[in-house]
Amino acid sequence: MTTTLLRGRTLSFLRWPETADDHSAYSYEEDGGLLIRDGRIAAAGPWAEVEKQAGEGAQRIDHRPHLILPGFIDAHVHFPQMQVIASYGAELLDWLNTYTFPEETRFRDAQHGRRIARLFLDEMVRQGTTTVSAYCSVHKASAEAFFEESHARDMLNIAGKVMMDRNAPEGLLDTPQSGYDDTVALIEDWHGKGRQHYAITPRFAITSSPQQLEMAGALAARFPELHVQTHLSENHAEIAFTQELYPWAKDYTDIYAQYGLLGRKTLLGHCIHLSEREADVLSDTGSVAVFCPTSNLFLGSGLFDYQRYRRRDKPLRIATATDVGGGTNYSMLRTMDEGYKVIALNGEKLNPFQSFWQITLGNAQALSLADRIGTLAPGTDADIVVLDCAATPGMRLRMERAGSLAEELFLLQTLGDDRAVREVYVAGRPAKSDMATPAEG
Ligand code: GUN
Ligand code: ZN
């Protein structure tokens, strides 16, 4: 039995913080302790109390004066798009056709998939992200590569091979039947193996025929405990083309509704241009709208109205995500910095406690995984990030004038990136300091 005892400033959310003064929404210990046994959090609280519970043999790691938080969660990311980031000058559909689809065809080579899966999860760890919901390519081997790498690291990740049978290059198409069969085989091989979760992943309505969406719905009915992930209402040209392809549908959301793809385990990337009717349907079904600010700005897709969605009579469940490679940064700190600006452009604010709630407990709740990840609560998995608010000269200087925890968090979000991530624990084991030379080969 391995036992580790961490010391530092621990911060873990209990619920959504209504305001920056809503101190009962989180637990914060200036001199905190975290006891980790066999990959789980055994105790958390004031150092003096937690230390008493640790046996003689516990490995002690002192992270003072740094902050210790639950690992970050990225609710929507495309691991085959690492070499698509920073592709110039296109909106969604051109960007897909010009850059993304050709790049994803390279994943027919299993060796390439294994290399990128390794580099991708290295990058996640470097950035403090301990759980992702990932899109793989259409190729079954890309999902196998992802899960092999994730399982070897004992990470809790969600992933699925994308199902796509039209409106893409030949090398990137499955069929309704092969998409179904490959998905079932992957579920049988990987879902529930260690910490792996499978997500049924029809890419979006444009690249799936009605027959394929029907098959995706059949999968969702056959495996109701699984996540479903897809894209919805990202860009005006996408919405118009989708309506042409499904003329009988009331709107874009109605397509997924009619095929039985909505529900509390459904993660819908973007959801920028929803009508009130569509937002009601998402709310009624408990489906999750995934906010991807760096992507939405980079592709010029639009401004996700976070606070309106949250405050409406029928509120939406919301997650946040990078959406790499439409997204331009792997860091959830950078993501929330851009998110703050998008929300500001909508005339609203997201306070720093709300931001850090969102990328920890908020995303865990949106993924229906808050019993396992997203907090420092005893009994949950020890996926942890250690953050240094003075990681760069500029941050150090700004810290001289930061007088409260809220200010420190906002500084971390506004100026921080992977350099602020001092250590990451995955299932209780140091993962960042243990990494070989970062992101090579
Ligand atoms: N819609 C369908 N596929 C994609 C994708 O890979 N990225 C983004 N941003 N939107 C999509
Ligand atoms: Zn996406």
Cross-strand pairs, 317: 288
Q: What is the pLDDT of residue 436?
A: 65
Q: Ligand 1: residues whose CB is within 6 Å? A: 78, 92, 96, 100, 203-204, 231, 234, 295, 323, 326
| Residue 95 Cα to ligand 2 middle (Å) | 12
Q: To 5 degrees, how large is the angle CA 281–CA 285–CA 286? A: 115
Residues lining ion ligand 2 (Cβ < 5 A) are 269, 323
Identify each DSSP E strand in 126-277 by its residue range. 129-135, 157-160, 162-163, 196-202, 227-232, 266-270
Cross-strand pairs, 192: none
Sign of the dihedral defined by the CA atoms of residues 69, 405, 321, 119, in that order: negative
User: In angstroms, what CA-CA distances link 6 with 35, 362, 384?
Assistant: 6, 24, 10
| Residue 292 Cα to ligand 2 middle (Å) | 8
Q: 76 is written with which tokens?
A: 């929507």
Model confidence, pTM? 0.98
Pocket probe mutation, ligand 1, options 84, 96, 208, 272, max atoms within 8 Å of Cβ: 96
Q: What is the pLDDT of residue 239?
A: 98
The ligand with the least distance to the CA atom of 134 is 2
Q: What is the pLDDT of residue 441?
A: 55
The atom of ligand 1 lying closest to the CA of 78 is 6
Host H or E run for residue 10: strand 3-13
Q: pLDDT tens, position by position, for the chain (441 residues)?
A: 789 999 999 999 999 999 999 999 999 999 999 999 999 999 999 999 999 999 889 999 999 999 999 999 999 999 999 999 999 998 999 999 999 999 999 999 999 999 999 999 999 999 999 999 999 999 999 999 999 999 999 999 999 999 999 999 999 999 999 999 999 999 999 999 999 999 999 999 999 999 999 999 999 999 999 999 999 999 999 999 999 999 999 999 999 999 999 999 999 999 999 999 999 999 999 999 999 999 999 999 999 999 999 999 999 999 999 999 999 999 999 999 999 999 999 999 999 999 999 999 999 999 999 999 999 999 999 999 999 999 999 999 999 999 999 999 999 999 999 999 999 999 999 999 988 655 555
Q: What is the pLDDT of residue 174?
A: 98
Nearest alpha-carbon partner for 226 in 190, 277, 254: 190
Nearest alpha-carbon partner for 160 in 242, 231, 264, 78: 78
The ligand with the least distance to the CA atom of 241 is 1
